[in-house]
Amino acid sequence: MGSLGDHAGAAGAGAGRAGGGDADAVGDEGNARVIAGRYRLDARLGRGGMGTVWRATDLLLGRQVAVKELDRDETLSDTEAAQQRERTLREARAVAQLRHPHIVVVHDVVEHAEQPYIVMELIEGGSLARQIGRTGPLDAQTVARMGIDLLGALSTAHEAGILHRDLKPANVLVERAGGRVVLTDFGIAQVSGATTLTEVGSFVGSPEYTAPERIAGERTGPASDLWSLGALLVTALAGESPFRRDSIGGVLHAVIYEEIRPPERAAPLLPVVSGLLERDPRRRLDAAGAERLLQEYVDTGRMSAPPDGGSGAGRDGAGHGRLAGARRVLLPKPGPALGPRGRQRRAVLITAALVAAVTGGAVSATALLLGRDGDDGKPANTASPTPTTATPSPTVTVTEETPSPGPSTPQAPAGYRLAKDPEGFEIAVPRGFVRRTDGTRVFYASPSGTYRVGIKEAEPEPGGPLAVQRRADDEGPRTNPGYRNGEVTETTRNGRTAALWEFIWDDPGNAGGERQTYDLCWQEGGTMYDVWVSGPAEESEQVRKYFDTAVDTFVRRR
């Protein structure tokens, strides 16, 4: 929908990451919080689906670190809150086992008042997603080197029995000095021999980068991370995921069914991309084969097609652009083998169950995800009563798109009031802010006009929130006088895909001066929402506080 004039942007969630250690004390040093009497939270680096990332100072060792603070969701039950805490602690424990130059270093883990913090090395730079968003696709040599580095990181994790399970551009950091890539956010990592973070049988991940066998609920292994790497390499080469679609249903259908046709920009690395994006994990290119092909390209500028069959090969037409387009994903088999119609029906049901789960539908996971229908389409209780081993009914949680359970009444922090707007939404704004509108947008502004909160609703646009904000960023110099420091980052709001836009501009109007603007755009229930805040650039921390409160409390009522 684009930000015009008095719009806003938001800091990315992909700056340096962090983790924490054991302690009970949370104090203050000046205006900065001190965690465990040791880590001073100096400045917010970004926000993501799981929490806030801070630039911090280790007061004991006198070094800069990154601290990841898990958001506390007051709507969760005690059990759900405990699972969320365990998710963060599990991330720290998993990564702390690993030593590799391309895996983020975990220094410490802190839990205070049942809220965990993870202290990690501070990576001076941003995420691969942000880099692609700002400068566009990368050249094939750069992507090949990046692929080799990430393969090394994944191999180290896999040798330790750890699966990442959420490899995507937002979870790869690029160091500003030297371009070192660092794999981070093992928040849904699965450690061999341990129960998954979210409950037995549940699904967590980012659909555009998730292997089809994981979507189908099958037991997965290192090959699933390699599929994600293949999707990431295409994204780096072409600027967007090969499975990017306008809806979650479209994404799932593309991953499971559609012919995979990498864009022309992926041609230099097509053999390795083809091998990694093989739907059958048994035939997927392995890490050693992928590394060999990528190293060949780095050394010679060319890449040969790997041989069919055996380790490190196994695609139909590998290296020639045909990527198992017609093959259906292998589905779980809790009972007797299914015929072709039964397999197809179960694949459809799995897709339907996932779509329903991520759009808030009430679906019986037992019936849909375990495929209890017989070959003739009749319920399983009409088939042979051959006993089978009981399998837990999977639940489905998709990190990028899962909507919240429904609007709860937002709470206005001290110094704010809850504005129940005539347009049908509620939002917390500072006391004294006055409402006005220009016909398409609603504003709440301070009496002097120095600070402004804006809200806009519109029809969804092609490409979703990220494409909308990127177009707005491109148009920034034309729509905002003195436009500079524009930055767009993919993130989430309440589990839905969102895009954050941040920029500085010069206001020729009543407020005047250099202004900082933050904007969040997301899509929900067939409507695209835009919430932004702007204010004096020299008061950017206050502007950000107003922005965070506006985003956190916005609720649509009708």
Residues flagged as binding site: 68
Spatial neighbors of 494 by CB under 8 A, at least 6 apart, are 403, 404
Count of positions (residues) in the chain: 558
- DSSP-derived secondary structure letter, 38: T
Spatial neighbors of 121 by CB under 8 A, at least 6 apart, are 16, 65, 66, 104, 105, 107
Directed axis angle between helix 340-358 and helix 248-256, to 10°?
150
Give the residue from 504, 455, 514 showing the smallest Cα distance to 484: 504
In degrees and rounded to multiples of 5, residue 304 shows phi and psi of: -85, 160
Task: Round to whole Å and give the CA distance between 319 and 14.
Answer: 33
Task: Round to whole Å and give the CA distance between 115 and 41.
Answer: 15
For the annotated binding site for ATP, the residues are: 68
Burial degree of 100 (CB within 10 A; 0-12, 13-18, 19+): middle
User: In the numeric block, which tokens belong to residue 473?
Assistant: 């960023």
If phi over 0 gives left and psi between -120 and 50 gives alpha, with beta otherwise, what is residue 545?
alpha
Among the listed residues 166, 225, 373, 507, the single catalytic one is 166
Task: Round to whole Å and give the CA distance between 432 and 417.
Answer: 9
Helices vs strands, H then E, count in the chain: 12, 22
Beta bridge partners of 498: 491, 522
User: Residue 382 CB: number of other CB atoms within 10 A?
Assistant: 10
Task: Round to whole Å and give the CA distance between 302 and 269.
Answer: 8
Q: What is the 3-state secondary structure (H, E, C) of 160-187?
A: CCEECCCCCHHHEEEECCCCCEEECCCC
Told to judge if 166 belongs to the known catalytic residues of this protein, a careful annotator would answer yes
Spatial neighbors of 252 by CB under 8 A, at least 6 apart, are 207, 215, 351, 354, 355
Q: Which residues are catalytic?
A: 166
